[in-house]
Amino acid sequence: MFKDCRGLVLSTESDQAVAAFDHAIDGYLGYRADMAARMEALLAADPHFGLARCLKGYFFLMGFRADAITSARAALAEAVRCPLTPRERAHTEALSHWIEGDPERAVAVWDQILDDHPHDILAFRLAHFVNFWSGRPEAMLASVRAVEKHWSDALPGFGSILACRCFAHEEAGYYLEAEHAGRAAIRHDPADLWAAHGVAHVMEMTGRRLEGIAWVEDLQSHWDGANNLKHHLWWHQAMYHFEMGDAAKVMSLYDAGFRNLGSPLTQLAPDLYIDVQNAASMLYRLGRFGVNVGDRWTELADKAEARISDCESAFTLPHWMMALAATGREAAANAMLIGMRDFAAGSQPIARLVRFVALPVTEAVLANGQGRHADALALMRPVLGTMYRMGGSHAQQDVLEQVFLDSALKSGSERDARLLMQRVAGRHPVAPIRRRGYAMAAALVSPGIAVGTA
């Protein structure tokens, strides 16, 4: 009987495959950029290792690309032809649900796996990932609370439990608990990007900008060999500088950090969803303050045109539209909306999410970019309370709220500006008057809201 480093039975009969599997899982948890090589070694060690084939399918889906679904199906077909333990067969069931556009059913399977096998860190981490991109912070938190009592520092991967504890608590608004867990994870492993990321979110949400800058700068020496998550951390660093009014530093971090078009990571995946979100959201914020961003929108718009009808990442869709609107590509923008409507006609949960949430938000982004501000408000107003279902953190969702606020201010709709300001003041611990994207509106709308008391 062969077991992984956490004591879970594996269907392989190769010591080499077990070691390669543990190495692959370590790379996944550590956001390593060499995952392709790790997976190649794993599959070479035992081509008939079913969980390895399933893992390959999972990785195809993590990029949220429509053109990867066929490959994920092929990996699933290969997996189910292999010998599988009951736990591994449950993983193939979860993969099947995710492929079919029902990520919440996949999470339900992972949760059941964790009920029986709380040390299955693959199931735990996948549930954390999918819950996040499904706008379910309460489920992220419940998952952490369900498994953490079964873990200790004696088990490999414990730092990842702490890192997920950090981010789940941060997204649920428990900032003290989040920071405590995140700092503990960093003490455990200074190269833990997810923990660094969780604490960066805490500092963003609590307005600790100088601390945030120092946090990112002090840790980045540990990120050699890391994947694109380090771009997102540089985006956080740029967000702190943005809040402090340092547009020049923001642009420097854009070009040399989180949207460095010459870096090997960007060239390997030039349209990765998280990188696109980082870039578009920052350019939009800068544009609101009249910063000349040159032709930086152009390469994003080119990539948006190439991804028309790809709706696997609901939260990325309005970011693609920001690029098309900023570059005046009306035909491409209309084609994108047609593709979204065609996708939204399906019956899968992801299709319904696009139909009822992502589509009106994306239409509103286009209307805002075209100066049709009353239309933007009418499209977006009914879904302000459900935008979170597209996924993304509070810090990331903020740019969509700024789209609404921008249209409210430019159309002279004090009622809508007040509505939005009450929304952000009621949820964000930093008063709007202290946030660059909201300060002017806070001062205009009402002193009460400006200081966060209404």
Confidence at residue 442, expressed as pLDDT on a 0 to 100 scale? 79
Instruction: Give me the residues paired with residue 198 across strands.
Output: none
Confidence at residue 446, expressed as pLDDT on a 0 to 100 scale? 58
* 42 assigned to some structural domain: yes
Residue 198 in tokens? 């969780």
Confidence at residue 445, expressed as pLDDT on a 0 to 100 scale? 73
Confidence at residue 433, expressed as pLDDT on a 0 to 100 scale? 87
* 341 assigned to some structural domain: yes
Cα–Cα dist 50/48, whole Å: 6
Confidence at residue 440, expressed as pLDDT on a 0 to 100 scale? 79
* 445 assigned to some structural domain: no
* 46 assigned to some structural domain: yes
* Residue after which a domain boundary falls, among 85, 107, 130: 130
CATH classification of the domain holding 95: 1.25.40
Confidence at residue 447, expressed as pLDDT on a 0 to 100 scale? 47
* 144 assigned to some structural domain: no
**Cβ-count burial 224-237 (b if 16+ within 10 Å, e if not):** eebbbbbbbbbbbb
Ranges of residues in the chain with a pLDDT under 50 are 447-454
* Residue after which a domain boundary falls, among 130, 151, 180: 130
Residue entry with tokens 């550590």: 30
Question: Is residue 290 left, alpha or beta, with left meaning phi > 0 and alpha meaning psi from -120 to 50?
Answer: left
| Cα dist from 261 to 32, 126, 279, 445, whole Å | 19, 29, 11, 40
| Cα dist from 387 to 133, 239, 314, 318, whole Å | 12, 21, 10, 11
- Helix %, strand %, coil % for the chain, to 5? 75, 0, 25
Range of the domain at 106: 1-130
* 227 assigned to some structural domain: no
* 5 assigned to some structural domain: yes
Number of domains making up the chain: 2
* 229 assigned to some structural domain: no
Cα–Cα dist 351/349, whole Å: 5
* Residue after which a domain boundary falls, among 79, 97, 130: 130
